Amino acid sequence: MRIAIIGFGSVGRGVAEVIAAKNTGLIVTAVADSRSGAIDASGLDIAAVLSNKKETGMCGTPDITVSDILSSDAYDVLVEVSPTNAETGEPALGYIREALAGGKHVVTSNKGPVALRFEELHTLAAEHNATLRYEATVCGAIPLMHTIECGIAGNEISRLYGVFNGTCNYILTRMAEEGLTYQQALLEARELGYAEADPTYDVKGIDAAIKLVILANAVWGMKKTLADVDIIGIDGVTSAAIALAEREDQTIRLIGEIDPANGVLRVSPGIIPKSHPLVVRDTLNAVTIETDLAGEITLIGKGAGSSETASAVISDLLFIRDCHGRRD
């Protein structure tokens, strides 16, 4: 199965490396970054592409663009892993639309397009007999979508809640364990590379809310947008508040929750017993799925990182290979 990778940052390079290293039956036939591109229908030399990227900052030549790749017939699956834009979803949204409309499968780690245009993209994929997969958009390496779609197929999901943002979890963990102030813990998270220079997206709860929108639409078809989520971040949480919770063997975590029957779609700090499975340390994510047949299932894992995100992308690719790879 032939793969085109759009976006050649750490995730894109990670995906290419795994495909080159493992015998998966996948070949990379096209890559593009913001400045260049490369196409070879018989398969690119990944080692050469990676080395070119390292030396020149470009994965290919400037005369080959994303458009050239999209309009070529050199690929079966588009791996769209360019940086996300939560407001418009572009330019990734356009790339995904074009690939699906051309009957190509799409695997993306890009939250913006999936959160903003889930229904449209889902319909477009169905109309063109293509598959859209987005495991990497929610909780990185945790196989949440696969578990819901396959692992617990046949269950009705009544509620879904958890820790969806590793940066906030790190900050709250450090505040609880070391008595750090919010500002001190945030500074530490930045120094360790867990928080961006502008941490608004994480600490205000927006990143977790986008993941809830994706889940609400994908799991329940709720047709929600970011504006429908009640959002309270962790930037107002004090270390004294955490200490008050800890007196009763509880702590505070940023919890995202979808409870359709009770009209709940929110992200907010919540008090939670320290023995609860959702109380995970550092940058881990954890999600509990409440089901009718299987009861409660809690999944824990790394929610971010290039190799973890690549893991989710590869698993989507192999799912497509196994389920749809021979459709021609």
Partner 1 sequence: MKDSPGQLVSVIQPISDIGGNILSVIHERDPEAGGDLLDVQIMCEIPEGSLETLLSGFRTQGVNVLRVGEERFLVRRSVILIGHLIHTDISDTIDTIDSTGYAEVHELSMVMPAINEPSSAKMTIKSDCLKDINRALAILRDVARAKGFLIIEPLEGN
Binding footprint of partner 1 on the chain (CB under 8 A): 161, 232, 236-238, 240-241, 243-245, 247-248, 250, 252, 255, 257, 259, 262, 264, 268-272, 276, 278
Copy the structure tokens of residue 232. 């309270």
Q: What is the DSSP string of 112-179?
A: HHHHHSHHHHHHHHHHTT--EE-GGGTTTTS-HHHIIIIITTTPPEEEEEEE--HHHHHHHHHHHHH-
CB of 110 to partner 1, least distance (A): 30
**Which one, 255 or 320, has the nearer CB to partner 1?**
255
Per the CB < 8 A criterion, the answer to whether 222 and 259 are in contact is no
Q: Which residues are catalytic?
A: 211
Amino acid at 144: L
Which residue lies nearer to partner 1 by CB, 218 or 252? Answer: 252
Q: Kindly state the smallest distance separating residue 242's Cβ from partner 1, in Å.
A: 9
Torsion of CA 106, 29, 13, 34, to 10 degrees: -80
- Give per-residue burial for 122-136: e unless 16+ CB within 10 Å, then b: bebbeeeebbbbbbb
Is the Cα dihedral 84, 266, 299, 200 positive or negative?
A: positive
Minimum separation from the CB atom of position 64 to partner 1 (A): 51
Distance between CA atoms of 141 and 299, rounded to whole angstroms?
10
| Closer by beta carbon to partner 1, 93 or else 203 | 203
Q: How far is the CB of 282 from partner 1 (least distance, A)?
A: 20
Name the H helices within the chain: 10-21, 46-56, 66-71, 92-101, 111-116, 118-127, 144-146, 166-178, 182-191, 200-203, 206-220, 239-246, 306-324
∠ Cα 309 235 237 (to 5°):
115
CB of 166 to partner 1, least distance (A): 19
Residue closer to partner 1 by CB (options 152, 271) is 271
CB of 230 to partner 1, least distance (A): 11
Q: What are the tokens at 171?
A: 């900050």
